[in-house]
Structure 1
Amino acid sequence: MRKFVTVYSVLALLFCLQIVFGTDVMAAVTESTGGLSAADGLTELWNFTGFANLHGSYSNLIMIAVGLFFIFLAVKYDYEPLLLIPIGTGILLGNIPFSEGYKIGIYEQGSVLNYLYFGVEQGIYPPLIFLGIGAMTDFSSLISNPKLMILGAAAQIGIFATFLGASAIGFTPQEAGAIGIIGGADGPTAIFLSSKLAPHLMGAIAIAAYSYMALVPVIQPPIMRLIIPKKERAIKMKPPRAVSKTEKIMFPLIALLLTTFISPSALPLLGMLFFGNLLKESGVTERLADTARNSLINIVTILLGVTVGASTQANVFLTTDSLKIFGLGALSFVVATAGGLLFARFLNVFVNKDNKINPLIGAAGVSAVPDSARVVQMEGLKTDPNNHLLMHAMAPNVSGVIGSAVAAGIMLSFLMK
C-alpha cells in the first residue's frame, strides 16, 4: 500500500522532472517502487476508484438515486428532515463502490462505519432515542383521558397483521416478528427488535419503518377521509382537564412498573422512555432532561440515521426479501391506521353524546410521534377551522409508542432463540 501512495503523491512531479533530467529519473523512481512504473501506478489508481468498482452492475447507482430521493423529500417537502437527510446521506456513503480490504465499508471489521454501526447491531441507539422521546413528551392528555390509550393499543393491530402476512409468504417466525413491528410506525423499536430477531434484515426493516414514518402526511389523510364520514370528522371534544404535578410524576413510575412487568423484554425501551419522562416532570433534573431531549437525541439521531442508511449496501439490500418487506410495511401502516380509526368509531357507540370522540384521533395510534398527531390536527381543521384536535390526538399517539414497545417485547419473549 505504501508504494502505491508514493506513486500517487509524486506522479505529477515525475513528468516535470522527466523533462529536466531525462529518463534516468523515471528509471530510478521505478526501481525505488519495486518495479512499479508510472503507468502501473495510474492503473492501480483507476482500479481503486468507484468508477472501476462498479463492475458492470448498476445496483449501487440505484441505491444512490434512492438516497438522493430521500434528501429531496426532506428538503423540498419537509418530510421528516431530521431522519431522511441522515438516512439519505448514509445511503450515499454505503453505496459508493470501493475495493474491499481497506476497512471502508460498514460491514468491514475495523472500519469507522462498522464501529458506529455497533450501536445499531447491539440495540444501543434505540433506548437512547426513547430516553430523549420521554424527556420531550407530555403525557398530560393521556393522563386526563386514559380511555384514549385503547386507541393506541388498537392501532397495533398492524403489527400482528403484518406478522401473519410475513409468515404466510415464507419468512421465518423470527423474521416475521421483526418485519411486523413496522406496523407500529416506530423506527427505533423496529431497529431494536430486528437487531435481536433478524439482523440480516435490519437495513430493509429500518428503511421501511422510517420511510413510512416520513410519509405519514401522505398515507394517512386519504384513509381518514375514506373511513370517517365528514359529520364525525367535525365532532368537537371537550378540552382535557388540568393534570397536577403529582399525577405527572406518578405516571412514569406507575407506567414503568406496569408495562415492564407485562413485557420485561421491552425493558430497555420502556425503562428509558419513562426515565426520560421522570427527568422532565420531576422538576429537579432539568439539566439532565434538557441534555436528553436536545444534545443526546440529536447526536444519536445523526449516528442512527447515517449508519442505518449506510447499511443498505446494494449487494446486501437489493433483494426480493427487501421488496417484500416494503410491500408488507405499506400494508401494515394502512391496517394500523384503519384499525385506530375504526376502533374510535366503535368506542363512540358506548360513549354518551356529550363525550363523543372524534374518530380522527384514532389514526394517531400509530406511534409516529408527533407527526401522526399533527396530521389529525390538520384534517380536523380542514373539516372545521375551529376544531383543534392536537392535544386529544397526543393521547393515542404516545400510547402508541408504549403499545409498540410492549408488542415488541412480547414478540421478543416468544420468538427469541
Structure 2
Amino acid sequence: MEGQSFFSFLTEHLLHFYSNTGFSNFTWGHGIMIAIGLFFIYLAIAKEWEPMLLIPIGFGIIVGNIPFTEGFMVGIYEEGSVLNYLYFGVRYGVYPPLIFLGIGAMTDFSTLISNPKLILIGAAAQFGIFGAYALALALGFTGAEAGAIGIIGGADGPTAIFISSKLAPHLMGAIAISAYSYMALVPVLQPPIMRLLTTSKERVIRMKPPRTVTKLEKILFPIIGMLLTTFVVPSGLPLLGMLFFGNLLKESGVTRRLAETARGPLVDIVTILLGLTVGASTQATVFLNPSSVMIFGLGAASFILATTTGILFVKFMNLFLSTENKINPLIGNSGVSAVPDSARVSHHIGMEYDKSNYLLMHAMAPNVAGVIGSAVAAGILLSFLY
C-alpha cells in the first residue's frame, strides 16, 4: 500500500508538473508566432534589414509565445509580472517620445533647411495615412481603430505605438508589428513602385547641390519648428517636442554630452525595451485573430499609397519648376519617415541609372520631413478621435 501511495503521489505531481510546462499548453498559434519571430531574426541577421529593431522584436515574439499556465505572473498581460512592468512604457506611450528625442539628436536638418520646398514631399506622403484610415473605416473598424491603423502608412514605429496606445490599445501589438515590419521591408517594397512610376529621363535628373546652412539657422530651426507644429496640433507635443528638443541639444553646440546620451545609450536602452515588449505583446492567445490579418493588409496598402503619393507629388511639382530646379522623382519615396532607409533606397535606385548622381543628401530632406509629418498627422488624428 505504501508503494502504491508513493507511486500515486509521484504520478500526480509529475502530471501536475507536466500540466505547467510549455509542452502541455502549446497550441498551433504559439508555433506560428514563434516561427514568425525566428523569421524576423533571420531577416535581421542574414539580410541585415533593420537588425536593431527586428532582433529585439523577433526575440520578444518568441518570449511572448512560450506557452505557460496563468497565475505564475510571467505573461506580459499578467498584472505584476516583470514583462508587464516593462510593457508600461509601451502601453502608456512613454517609450516613443524618448525614441523621438534620440532621433532629433541624430538628425541633421540642413538639407531640409536649405531647400524648404522639399518638406511638401514629406507632407504628401502622409496621404497614405489618411487613405488607410478611410479604408479601415470602410472595413468596419471604429474611427479610433482606423486612425491607429492608418498611421502605419508613415512607416514610423514609435508614432504608431504612441497613437495606438491612445486610440486602440487592444490593437497595439498588431499595429506595432505591422509598422516595424514595413519599415524593415522598405528596400523590398519601394523599388518596384519607384521604377513603375518614373521614366528613364526622370530617374537621371540632377538636382542642385544644397546650399551651406549657417549655425544660426540650425539653432533656430528646432525652436521655430516646434512652435509652428505644436501650435497647430498641440496633441502632437510629446513627439514633436522631444524631436525638436533632441535636435536643439545637437545643434546648440553647448550640450554635446546630453546630445550624445540621447542619441546613444538612452535611445539604445529604449529601443531594446520597446522592441522586446512589443514583440512579447504578440501572445498568440491575444494576437492571432482576423483583425490582425486585416491590419497587416491595411498597413501594406497604407505604405504603398504613401510611397506612391510621394513620388507622384514630385512629378506634379516638376510641372511648375524650371529645368535647373527640377526634383528627381526617385526621392519621392523618402517622404515616409523610415529614416534613413528610404533615403538610401532613393540613392541606390538613382545610382542604378547614373552612377555619378548622388541623391542621398537630397532624399534626406523629405525623409526627415516625413518624421515631422507623421508626428503632425498623429496629432491631427488624436485631436479629433481621442
> Normalising by structure 2, what TM-score?
0.98
Q: 2:168 aligns with which of 186, 198, 203?
A: 198
Q: Select which of 218, 225, 236 maps to 2:188.
A: 218
Could you list the per-position Cα deviations for residues 156-193 of structure 1 after superposition, in whole angstroms to 9, with x for gaps in the alignment? 00000000000000000000000000011100000000
Aligned residues: 385
Cα distance in 1, alignment partners of residues 49 and 224 from structure 2: 35
Residue of structure 1 equivalent to 2:358 = 388
1:233-283, CA deviations, whole angstroms, 9 ceiling, x for partnerless residues? 101111100000000000000001000001000000000000000000000
**Which residue of structure 2 aligns with residue 302 of structure 1?**
272
Structure 1 stretches of 4+ moved >4 Å: none
Identity of aligned residues (%): 69
Partner of 2:40: 70
CA distance in 2, matches of 1:362, 1:368: 13
Among 78, 98, 113, which residue is 2:68 paired with? 98
Structure 2 CA distance for aligned equivalents of residues 116 and 152 of structure 1: 33
Shift of 1:41: 2.3
Tell me the CA shift for residue 379 of structure 1. Answer: 0.4
Instruction: For residues 22-60 of structure 1, give each alpha carbon's deviation from its aligned partner in whole angstroms, at most 9, with x where no partner exists.
Output: x79x98xx6xxxx98222222222111100112xx3111
Q: Which of 237, 240, 246 is the equivalent residue of 1:276?
A: 246
User: What SS does structure 2 have at the residue aligned with 1:373?
Assistant: helix
Q: Distance in 1 between matches of 2:271 and 2:55?
A: 11
Query: Of the candidates 287, 291, 302, which is equivalent to residue 332 of structure 1?
Result: 302
Partner of 1:116: 86
Q: Which residue of 2 aligns with 1:45?
A: 17
Deviation at 1:230, TM superposition (A): 1.3
AA at the equivalent of 2:304: V
Matches within 5 A, 1:199-278: 199-278=169-248
In the alignment, which residue of structure 1 is the partner of 2:121? 151
What do residues 298-318 of structure 1 show as CA deviations (whole Å, max 9, x unaligned)? 000000000000000111111
Matches within 5 A, 1:183-194: 183-194=153-164
> Take 2:248 and 2:366, find their aligned partners in 1: how far apart are those partners?
20
CA distance in 1, matches of 2:90, 2:140: 26
Residue 329 of structure 2: which of 359, 367, 381 is its match? 359
Distance 1:169 1:41 in 2: 50
Task: Provide the C-alpha distance between the structure 1 equivalents of 2:73 and 2:274, rounded to a whole number of angstroms.
Answer: 20
Partner residue, 1:343: 313
1:213 and 1:204 map into 2 onto residues whose CA distance is 14
| Aligned twin of 1:9 | none
Q: Note the alpha carbon deviations across 1:112-152, whole angstroms, 9 max, x for none.
A: 00000000000000000000000000000000000000000
Residue 74 of structure 1: how far off its partner (Å): 0.6
Counterpart of 2:29, as a letter, is: S
Kindly provide the amino acid, as one letter, of the partner of residue 45 in structure 1.
F
Name the aligned partner's letter for residue 78 of structure 1.
E
Change beyond 3 A, Cα 1:380–1:138: same
Structure 2 distance, partners of 1:140, 1:308, is 33
Q: Letter of the aligned partner of 1:90 in structure 2?
A: G
Letter in 1 for 2:62: L
Aligned-pair RMSD on alpha carbons? 1.3
Counterpart CA distance in 2 for 1:144 and 1:375 is: 22
Match for residue 4 of structure 1? none
- The aligned amino acid for 2:111 is S
Q: Distance in 2 between matches of 1:364 and 1:228?
A: 15
- Give the TM-score taking structure 1 as reference length: 0.91
Q: CA–CA distance in 1 between the matches of 2:8 and 2:265?
A: 50
Give ranges in structure 1 of 5+ residues lacking alignment: 1-22
What amino acid is the match of 1:81?
Answer: P
Give 1:16-31 correspondences, 5 Å limit.
none
Identify the residue that residue 178 of structure 1 maps to in structure 2: 148
For residue 322 of structure 1, the aligned residue among 267, 288, 292 is: 292
Give ranges in structure 2 of 5+ residues lacking alignment.
none
Report deviation, 1:346: 0.6
